[in-house]
Amino acid sequence: MPDTKTFTFAGKGGVGKTSLSAAFIRILSERFPEKRILAVDADPAVGLSVALDVQPSMTIDDVRLRIAESIEKGETSAAAQLLSEARFHLMDCIVERGNISFLAIGRPEAAGCYCKVNAYLKQIIETLSGNFDFVVIDGEAGIEQINRRVMENVTYLVLVTDPSKKGFQVVQTIRQVAQRLVSCEETGVIVNRAPESFTTDVPDLLAVIGEDRFQSKNDMDGESVFSLSDASPLFLGAKSALEKLLGEDTENAAV
């Protein structure tokens, strides 16, 4: 079994979490072609699938809702059967692109409490993740949803913000929540879309990324991260941040 390294991206909406998650995935895929990478889209907006140019036909919530509907209808035997087959249905949710496997969590949970179902599906995802060398999770704003529905133990918690005061306040809130709810080995901050004059005294700063015309054009054209120029500030910032997190692990990687 590989020694899995998990990257979880969090921050307020609109700061570029999905673009940076996708950039990390591309860089890991290119630098470690022999490694297996699991990309998890935990944001209901499913932007990561667009950024990676993959189209999942089924999400984790599709599996969950099928089980929940059976419970609501009183079809306990059907629900039990679906639970027993959940691992196989989970594999149907995965889309592969080279050494990247993509898994989408899907839309928000429906009303009602299905704690046992949710816990079981999360356990399956954690078990599945152990088969990969790298796991990159693109989460929605905040950390609670990631903890509840995906994984409780991550290697790196990457907090993304813009240079605004509100962005940094959200990062601080997520830090506090993560200390209580998530076990992570290291936390780092990426400041995105920063003006040239921007400075910060954040102690665990991974990168400061300026405005990026390459990324803007990529978005407007509907292109994936694999079409993004190597000269893109976002790509270069992601590369620098990843090298800081992985350290010597990148020295023997493919160029």
CA distances from 143 to 66, 72, 156 (A): 26, 29, 13
Strands (E), the chain: 5-10, 37-42, 95-97, 100-104, 134-139, 153-161, 183-194, 205-210
Q: Whole-angstrom Cα distance, residue 77 to residue 23?
A: 44
The domain made up of 5-246 is a member of CATH 3.90.25.10: no
Q: Which structure tokens are listed for 73?
A: 């209808």
Interval 135-148: pLDDT, tens: 999 987 666 555 55
CA distances from 155 to 8, 62, 139 (A): 8, 28, 15
Q: Which structure tokens are listed for 111?
A: 């009303």
Considering the entire predicted model, what is its pTM? 0.87
Domain ranges of the chain: 5-246
Q: Whole-angstrom Cα distance, residue 174 to residue 183?
A: 13
Q: In 32-96, which residue ranges form alpha helices assigned H by DSSP?
A: 47-52, 60-72, 76-84, 86-92
Interval 5-64: pLDDT, tens: 999 999 988 899 999 999 999 999 999 999 999 999 887 766 899 999 998 888 888 877
Query: Strand 100-104 and strand 37-42: pairing?
Result: parallel
Q: Whole-angstrom Cα distance, residue 255 to residue 31?
A: 6
* Whole-number pLDDT of residue 255: 44
* Whole-number pLDDT of residue 1: 52
Contact, 171 vs 11, CB < 8 A?
A: yes
Query: Strand 100-104 and strand 95-97: pairing?
Result: antiparallel
Strands (E), 11-60: 37-42
Q: Name the amino acid, one letter, at 93.
A: C
| Residues of the chain where predicted confidence (pLDDT) is lower than 70 | 1, 45-46, 71-72, 75-76, 78-87, 107-121, 141-151, 248-255
CA angle 185, 42, 108 (to 5 degrees): 135
* Whole-number pLDDT of residue 202: 92
